[in-house]
Amino acid sequence: MTRKIGGVSSKELSKFVKGSYAKKKDTKSVGNYQVDKELSTGKNKVYFNPNTGKSVVALSGTHGNITDWSNNTHIVTGDFKKTKRYKDAEKVQRKANAKYGKDSVETISHSKSGETARILAKKGLTSKSIALNPAILGKKHKGVQVVRSKADVVSALTPMGKNDVTIDNKTINPLIEHGTSVISRKPQEFGGRYITPHIAENLMYTFF
């Protein structure tokens, strides 16, 4: 059994994912999280909460153009990290880590960018990471918490671990089950750091 420290709520997760797809000029704050306009790009957004010192890097999935769709083939062939799309996301992640401190940054991804999150975690560039319905095709994703709908086609081949979350589907519509609305069916906190009860007990004695 594990307990969780930190993380984002299901409502925040939904808004961060939606925000990642917005045009840079149209990106809005999420609660107390303000948009970092300096680091944000069209496909990758950075948010900062001045009250808590926490930040979020939100990586979007596929945008509706031929170039972006063609990028998806590289996930299948295993060379996605060589694409400009991945390299741009890594650049934003590194800048956010440098500005706010890696341990204060939570990385959120959806669909195609779930593979980005997996590579970033493997490189040690993320400390906390949540991927909604990610396109992680049969690969281990240590350091990334997966949240997926049971009926989502894109994440069907993503291995699920003990800290991952499966959401029951309410429809058989692939677009709905792949979208952000599925998160509202699971009102809880996602992400954060996972610690064993033994460590939690030591923390309790340390801080109380």
For residue 27, tell me if it sits in a domain: yes
**Whole-number mean pLDDT of the chain?**
85
Supply the pLDDT for residue 79: 82
In which band, very low, low, confident or very high, does the pLDDT at 30 lie, cut at 50, 70 and 90?
A: very high
Residues above pLDDT 70, as percent of the chain: 84
Q: Give the count of domains, the chain.
A: 1
Supply the pLDDT for residue 66: 63
CATH number of the domain within which 169 lies: 3.40.50
For residue 58, tell me if it sits in a domain: yes
The upper half-sphere exposure of residue 198, i.e. CA atoms within 13 Å in the direction of its Cβ, equals: 0
Whether 195 has a pLDDT exceeding 90, the answer reads no
Cα torsion for 22, 27, 28, 30, to the nearest 10°?
70
Pairing of strands 189-190, 145-149: unpaired
Residues recorded for the chain? 208
Supply the pLDDT for residue 203: 28
Q: Is-above-0.75 flag for pTM?
A: yes
Supply the pLDDT for residue 185: 85
Range of the domain at 139: 8-189
Closest CA to 191 of 61, 5, 1: 5
Whether 199 has a pLDDT exceeding 80, the answer reads no
For residue 63, tell me if it sits in a domain: yes
